[in-house]
Structure 1
Amino acid sequence: MTRTWFITGTSSGFGRLLTEQLLDRGDRVAATLRTPEALDGLRAEHGDRLWVARMDVTDTGEVQRVVDRAFADLGSIDVVVNNAGFGVFSAVEEATDEQIRAVVDTNLLGSIHVVRAVLPHLRAQGHGRILQVSTAGGQTTYPNFSYYHASKWGIEGFCETVAQEIAPFGIGLTILQPGATPTGFGGALASGPVMPEYDDGPAGDVRRSLADGSFVLVNSPEKITGAMIDLIDSGEVPLRLPLGSDTYHHVRRSLVARLEEHDAGREVALSVVRDDLVPSE
């Protein structure tokens, strides 16, 4: 079955790989990115099966215009992939205000802008899938990534809510959680001047492990994008899909620890219920 996909952030990484794989198998792709000329080679090879537009997800008006034009030109879009991302790699005091704003504007607000722009079209056509690219860091945490985590935990909460609201319209939403993968994303991480106060602790340990290669990027980017395609082909609509051995193990460990801590607070939680009400289990 031939499908039409709308993908953000297609200049490199998962967005570029996914675009290439979909075109190779005969699907149509509406690819958006800030530098459209980066896809000139693919356009020459695949012709009108590749629709390209410049779009910065932090520009709300541009997002709306590009989404509207994509649906007008292509007629129907089956899958929307919210992939564009930005990362800040620094301890909490090291990042600049501009870097903090950029990561939130891109990963959280930018993804929200895209979802809000596509939903009227998906509702009108009565079907569609949204794939939100998050990360293992949307459910667990690592030193030096506090602002990245803030944006990813935020978008996961947003998407979990939206998934409930849009299900009656025949629209499915899945949060994708890739683990550490050699896509070039790490080299594009913004950072600030290193503060010795943090370099002597967990933040410095993570920095050094990335620098010396002991932090291994264990997952295959081609297999991850292949799993995204397989998910759509399967027709299944899980709320979350872990993609990577590190994602599976790290997130599971985090969830178990959170549940244990949650259960440890049961007595206190129930003790604050109003006296005229029976505590609920």
Structure 2
Amino acid sequence: MTARTWFITGVSSGFGRELAEQLLARGDRVAGTVRREGSADDLRTKHGERLWLGLLDVTDLDRVRDVVDAAFGELGRIDVVVINAGYGLFGAAEEFSDEQVVHQIRTNLLGSIQTARASLPHLRAQGGGRIIQLSSVAGLAAHPGASLYHAGKWGVEGFMEALAAEVAPFGIEVTLVEPGGARTSFAGSSLRLSEPLAAYDNTPAAAVRVFKDIAVPVPGDPVKVAARIIDSASRQPAPLRLVLGSDCYQGATAALRERLAQIEPQQASAAETDADT
């Protein structure tokens, strides 16, 4: 197996950490980013020069480009760019502060877009590569109490799907990873709740308030998820969407069927607004 070089945002925890550990263990090189100095020093101690670390908060869009440029500049060719950094903000839309809205979108949507954009000149110059974007079942199906999280994930879905067609002529392929719930540290370190408004008590949006207090059972194994993501980088052609988890498959297919059921009966009425020829 030929060793690859990977760039991964957010390697201190969650899927990013699991990906980095598996890749380094098999002999690949990893350029990883962390928000806090020292949060991945154990990996650096264990794997030495095969782990390159950059300090990055993806909400700093100018810094994103600087770190991506530095990684490509120091390591040369990077075969796979994994856009992973993000967090979940849940609650009713009215409950969020303006600052929370902006920070969530800057992290989950704009940070992802900027990481991809910063990587493209390098990937084009080297003749190709792979971009893997961590999305979610939340990018395919929507639920009350997650409107802002959906806004970022649905935005990423549209951006990456269009980008895949734009960059295909340069040998660059794109994959959206769609995990369901997984047994990572997400609930403990990457999940935040809005300040509740009494008006939303006993409404559908209030269901998310239990996330911090109750261990919600989820089926996904992060070790298996990371292994499938790594394997996907060798698939030709690249899968545009990689569905991982029975809950993701069930939730996504149910949402898509419901959307078609809403749209298909409108075929005749939709045509009524066409211009007369």
Q: Do these two structures clear the TM 0.5 threshold for a shared fold by scoring above it?
A: yes
Give unmatched runs, 5+ long, in structure 1.
277-281
1:184-263 equivalences under 5 Å are 184-187=185-188, 188-208=190-210, 211-213=213-215, 215-263=216-264
Summarize the alignment of residues 74-113 of structure 1 with structure 2, pairs less than 5 Å apart.
74-113=75-114
Which residue does 1:168 correspond to in 2? 169
Give, as a single letter, the amino acid of the residue that structure 2 aligns with 1:216. P
Q: Distance in 1 between matches of 2:209 and 2:194?
A: 12
Deviation per CA, 1:114-169, whole angstroms, max 9, x where unpaired?
01100000000001000000100001012211100001100110111100000000
Match of 1:133 in 2: 134
Q: Aligned-pair distance for 1:95?
A: 1.2
Q: Give the letter for the 1:87 counterpart.
A: G
SS at match of 2:53: strand
What are the within-5 Å matches in structure 2 for residues 152-167 of structure 1? Answer: 152-167=153-168
Does structure 2 conserve the Cα–Cα contact (< 8 Å) formed by 1:86 and 1:102? no
Residues 31-50 of structure 1: pairs in structure 2 closer than 5 A: 31-50=32-51
Secondary structure of 2:130's partner?
strand
What amino acid sits opposite 1:62 in the alignment? Answer: R
TM-score by length of 1: 0.94
| 1:26 partner SS | coil
Matches of 2:127 and 2:106, distance apart in 1: 30
Q: In the alignment, is the contact (CA less than 8 A) between 2:90 and 2:208 conserved in 1?
A: no
Give the deviation of 1:221 after TM superposition.
Answer: 0.7
Q: Distance in 2 between matches of 1:209 and 1:62?
A: 32
Alignment partner, residue 53 of structure 1: 54
How many residues were matched structurally?
275
RMSD: 1.3
Assess if the C-alpha contact under 8 Å between 2:82 and 2:132 holds in 1.
yes
Bigger drift between 265-274 and 21-30 goes to 265-274
Distance 1:235 1:74 in 2: 25
| Separation in structure 2 between the aligned mates of residue 193 and residue 73 of structure 1, nearest angstrom | 44
The separation in 1 between residues aligned to 2:67 and 2:207, in whole angstroms, is: 43
Distance 1:164 1:233 in 2: 19
Deviation (angstroms), 1:266: 0.8
Q: Mind listing any 5+ residue stretches in structure 2 that lack a counterpart?
A: none
Residues 15 and 184, structure 2, Cα contact 8 Å, conserved in 1: yes
Query: 1-side partners of 2:220 and 2:59: how far apart?
Result: 29
Residues 222-252 of structure 1, C-alpha deviations (whole Å, 9 max, x = no match): 1100100111133341111111111100000
Q: If the length of structure 2 is used for normalisation, what is the TM-score?
A: 0.96
